[in-house]
């Protein structure tokens, strides 16, 4: 099948699907290393919901997730990358290229990076929005609850372990089953019995919030009310792996995409980074993955040095052949250098 006619402005060396910290970092590296790059972002995502940014060195905690991402997009555009607010509905491999179908048309790329992340399983009834008493990232937010009353909501091994881990920060931890039967293992049950975690079986029937919207207490079916500074919901993750699966990429049992240490999937030219891949779901980790993938893509795409076989077939590289960076990106780089010199 031949690739359809695509306008030049929709042709890229690198197309990143997903506009979170991992995808934006990949795009930043690819762009600054001289490759025509686009980010296709439908918006939303876990980072965008953060009320505050934790554990990102150099970024004040007063910065929201939305502000963090907005600054990153502005930075990316300043280097010449395209940021397209489009939802990618499908990706096909045709010859040596990838064809992306989006809500705004078709685009073509030599390499594709999937940074589509996952969605957290959310509890019912709704609790305060993320960061105001409902949290998902233990390593980001446990610090907030030192010596505070904390709940962990869920009925599996992960919920039980998070509850026990929180004992490192506070002596007041409740594990809320919400009228579900425990599904954790016998070993986990024994561990729980030997840690001071209060297992609460009754369903949550109401939420009490303060004037600022932060959680103050939860109401239970038996009429009791328990005060909490906040807590964690542990109901699993729904990985956005549809594009990876459609391209034949290897998936792990939990739905994550199998990758090597530089984000390469089992499909040649296809990469995956961030929460879509195994590991800690953290902004700094995602950024590190993006940086490594961006460098790996550059090494795969860069023109020089030519191999001995290429030199024998094409001849020596002449002054007119260099640099290999695209004209627009070269112009942007010169503009950046001029601005820094002012």
Nearest to 220 by CA among 234, 232, 196, 203: 203
Its sign, for the CA torsion 94, 100, 106, 110, is negative
Q: Could you read off the pLDDT of 195-246 as tens digits, one per residue?
A: 999 999 999 999 999 998 899 999 999 999 999 999 999 998 899 999 999 9
pTM: 0.92
Tokens 């010859």 belong to residue: 95
Q: Considering the chain, what is the average pLDDT of its residues?
A: 93
Residue 1 has pLDDT above 60, yes or no: no
21: left (phi over 0), alpha (psi -120 to 50) or beta: alpha
Place of tokens 């954790």: 184
Quote the crossing angle between the two packed helices 283-301 and 21-32, to the nearest 10°. Answer: 30
- Across residues 10-14, what is the average pLDDT? 96
């Amino acid at each position: 099948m031949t690739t359809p006619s695509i306008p030049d402005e929709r042709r890229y060396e690198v197309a990143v699907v997903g506009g979170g910290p991992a995808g934006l970092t990949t795009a930043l590296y690819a762009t600054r290393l001289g490759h025509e790059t686009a980010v296709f972002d439908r918006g939303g995502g876990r980072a965008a919901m953060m009320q505050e940014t934790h554990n990102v060195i150099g970024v004040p905690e007063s910065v929201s997730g939305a502000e963090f991402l907005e600054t990153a997009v502005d930075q990316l555009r300043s280097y010449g990358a395209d940021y397209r607010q489009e939802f990618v509905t499908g990706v096909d491999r045709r010859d040596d290229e990838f064809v992306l179908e989006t809500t705004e048309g078709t685009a073509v790329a030599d390499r594709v990076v999937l940074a589509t992340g996952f969605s957290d399983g959310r509890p019912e009834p709704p609790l305060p929005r993320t960061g105001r008493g409902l949290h998902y990232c233990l390593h980001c937010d446990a610090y907030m609850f030192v010596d505070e009353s904390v709940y962990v909501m869920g009925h599996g091994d992960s919920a039980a372990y998070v509850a026990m881990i929180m004992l490192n920060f506070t002596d007041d931890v409740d594990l809320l089953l919400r009228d579900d039967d425990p599904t954790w293992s016998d070993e986990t049950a024994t561990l729980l019995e030997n840690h001071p975690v209060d297992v609460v079986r009754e369903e949550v029937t109401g939420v009490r919030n303060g004037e600022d919207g932060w959680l103050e207490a939860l109401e239970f079916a038996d009429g009791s009310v328990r005060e909490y500074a906040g807590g964690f919901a542990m109901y699993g993750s729904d990985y956005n792996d549809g594009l990876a699966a459609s391209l034949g990429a290897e998936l792990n049992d939990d739905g994550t995409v199998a990758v090597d240490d530089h984000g390469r999937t089992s499909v040649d030219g296809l990469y995956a980074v961030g929460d879509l891949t195994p590991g800690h779901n953290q902004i700094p980790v995602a950024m590190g993955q993006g940086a490594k993938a961006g460098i790996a893509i550059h090494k795969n795409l860069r023109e020089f040095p030519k191999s001995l076989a290429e030199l024998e077939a094409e001849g020596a590289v002449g002054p007119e052949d260099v640099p290999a960076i695209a004209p627009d990106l070269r112009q942007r780089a010169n503009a950046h250098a001029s601005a820094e010199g002012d």
